[in-house]
Amino acid sequence: MYRTNTCGELGLANAGENVTLAGWVQKVRNLGAMTFIDLRDRYGITQLVVDEHAEAELKEAADGLGREFVIQVKGRVIERASKNPKMVTGDIEVVLSELKVLSKADTPPFTIEETSDGGDDLRMKYRYLDLRRPPLQRAMMLRHRVAQAARRFLDGEGFMEIETPFLIGSTPEGARDFVVPSRMNAGQFYALPQSPQTFKQLLMVAGYDKYFQIVRCFRDEDLRADRQPEFTQIDCEMSFVEQEDVLATFEGMMRFMFRETLGVEFGAEPFRRMSWVEAMTKYGNDKPDLRFGMEIHELTGLAKGHGFSVFDDAEYIGAIVATGCGNYTRKQIDELTEYVKRPQIGAKGLVWVRLEEDGSIKSSVDKFYAPEVLRAWATELEAVAGDIIFVVSGTRTQSLRVLSELRLEMGERLGLRDRAKFAPLWVVDFPLLEWDDETKRYYAMHHPFTSPKPEDIPLLGSDPGKVRANAYDFVVNGVEVGGGSIRIFDSSLQAQMFDLLGFTPEKAQEQFGFLMNAFRFGAPPHGGIAFGFDRLCSLFGGADSIRDYIAFPKNNSGRDVMIDAPSTIDPEQLKELCLEIKL
């Protein structure tokens, strides 16, 4: 037996016991007569002692230890004279009688402790070492608990976990696929799934009315902090349901997971619902952070017609109020102006109106607007003395995007985005289609199988842009955690949808004929949702990036620097696959 206990479980109740432990050497402190060793495994750290009465062989073995050596020890648990309240095992130590080196180790390239001295690139290269560190261990344990909570809930609700294929056909619509050449079918390719969408719909046709899968998905796209080329979804589908059935089921799941994983309870009131139009109008994006207010208000009617050409020529003028920030200095305002002028945000400038405590008003556009006009703005925005108003103009889409980013930045600066606070909501009634001026055609805002709102179906023929989708997103703290829809299950409606998206009947048959053919044999009404599992884990862990919640992630260039992938392949493999590389 390599160990009788782990390094995180011994306490005063074990005093006097003889134990066997195994793990990695975190630290060695040789004090002459005595040597202290911190032994670590994924459960914690236990302090070991080689005392002055130890045999020479044991002392010699302890003197030869280095960081990250793997050792096995035997000894007796005693109460520590100098306790460490920061350690779970800080009340005890183990006085050693035996020490065996199981595996020697080179000195690691960075410290394997709570806070490391290694940079991101170095730690990514030696990811297996980084995974030994407590922050990564906690992240992996959290990921495990989240997965198990999801499985317990869904199993309790009668869902079946069913696997779907990883080698499928390519669908050029939407994001780019990762493709896999087929050796046995020369010149042909599989694609790795961006989601199991069509397969889970086929499972509904097959009669498996409650399906789920914690599944790996793949998308060849540019990366951000919350995106990876391979990612995990909690993928779910249900038959004989309408939108309310889906929302009720998965609101229950999220309540269960918050409670089981974090101990967070929400009140009895249902999670807030918000239409896509309201989200865009009040918050400038479709995943609003509701931990704080600072809603966007339109000032177009009040601000135009006063000789200020920047506003007079604008399609839209909007504003937010930063409560209690009327004492902002010019330097702080200039910082915010430069922030919104960054290329990724795209504002041309930022107008401000400061409501002084003495009742006066100061503004960057004083020469164009009389005080009574600015007070009318303040009244419209419900701003009071001590507040500052920030105003942006331009096209409606651009201005809302700028105000959204400014609102989030102000929330961050004012400490309003508390990571321990959670504000969940459902965003509903998305547009079904979005028009692309460049290609002069409609694209599905979600995917081609999303059902329109039943009452909007007549508009498909006359005004497709006004049709709302029977779709929903689950949003927490400004993060889209999950999304789904009620699906089209009527073949004629699906054909109409394909036509709107520019598919010829032949092209629709080529790409999705298997699904359309399945519908001919009796398709039930169905709908579902997929939750971003990595995002959910990072949300529960209070982090912005999903990378630390994935055991072996890619870097921002989509590379695995640990195994140096992607890489070239042997010419013989290329020949077998009938491939030739041209750069």
- Quickly state the pLDDT bin for 502 (edges 50, 70, 90): confident
Q: How far apart are alpha carbons 409 and 334 in whole angstroms? A: 14
**Domain spans in the chain, listed from the N-terminal domain onward:** 12-103, 137-274+423-550, 292-413
If residue 118 lies in a helix (H) or strand (E), which one and from where to where? none
Residue 583 has pLDDT above 80, yes or no: yes
Contact 297, 382 (CB under 8 A): no
Given CATH 1.20.120.790, say whether it is the number of domain 12-103: no
| Neighbour-count burial of 546, counting CB atoms closer than 10 A to its CB (0-12 exposed, 13-18 middle, 19+ buried) | buried
Instruction: List, for residues 330-364, the tens digit of each pLDDT value.
Output: 999 999 999 999 999 999 999 999 999 998 999 99
- Quickly state the pLDDT bin for 300 (edges 50, 70, 90): very high
Q: Which of 247, 238, 243 is CA-nearest to residue 424? A: 247
Identical fold for domains 12-103 and 137-274+423-550, yes or no, is no
Global confidence as pTM: 0.92
Residue 175 has pLDDT above 90, yes or no: no
Contact 526, 241 (CB under 8 A): yes
Q: Which of 231-235, 427-431, 438-442, 565-569 has the lowest mean pLDDT?
A: 438-442
The pLDDT of residue 172 is 63
144, 150, 155, 161: CA torsion to nearest 10: -80
The pLDDT of residue 313 is 96
Q: Token digits for 182?
A: 């087929």
Q: Which of 314, 253, 324, 281 is CA-nearest to residue 481? A: 253
Contact 535, 234 (CB under 8 A): no
If residue 490 lies in a helix (H) or strand (E), which one and from where to where? none
If residue 327 lies in a helix (H) or strand (E), which one and from where to where? none
For the structural domain made of 292-413, what CATH number should be given?
A: 3.30.1360.30
Check whether the bond before 424 is cis (ω within 30° of 0): no
Instruction: List, for residues 357-400, the tens digit of each pLDDT value.
Output: 998 999 999 999 999 999 999 999 999 999 999 999 999 999 99
Q: Token digits for 159?
A: 């869902």
| Neighbour-count burial of 320, counting CB atoms closer than 10 A to its CB (0-12 exposed, 13-18 middle, 19+ buried) | buried
By residue count, the chain amounts to 583
Q: Which one-letter DSSP state was computed for residue 329? A: -
Q: Count Cβ atoms below 10 Å from residue 580 Cβ, excluding itself.
A: 8
Instruction: List, for residues 316-326, the tens digit of each pLDDT value.
Output: 999 999 999 99
Q: Token digits for 186?
A: 């020369």
Residue 116 has pLDDT above 80, yes or no: yes
Instruction: List, for residues 218-227, the tens digit of each pLDDT value.
Output: 999 877 767 8
Backbone angles phi, psi at 524, to 5 degrees: -80, 160
Q: Which CATH homologous superfamily contains domain 137-274+423-550?
A: Bira Bifunctional Protein; Domain 2 (3.30.930.10)
Q: How far apart are alpha carbons 574 and 187 in whole angstroms? A: 12
- Quickly state the pLDDT bin for 479 (edges 50, 70, 90): very high
- Quickly state the pLDDT bin for 173 (edges 50, 70, 90): low
Q: Which of 90-104, 173-187, 495-509 has the highest mean pLDDT?
A: 90-104
The predicted model gives 69-76 an average pLDDT of 98
Please report the DSSP string for 514-573 in residue order.
HHHHHHTTTPPPEEEEEEEHHHHHHHHHT-S-SGGGSSS---TTS-BTTTTBS----HHH
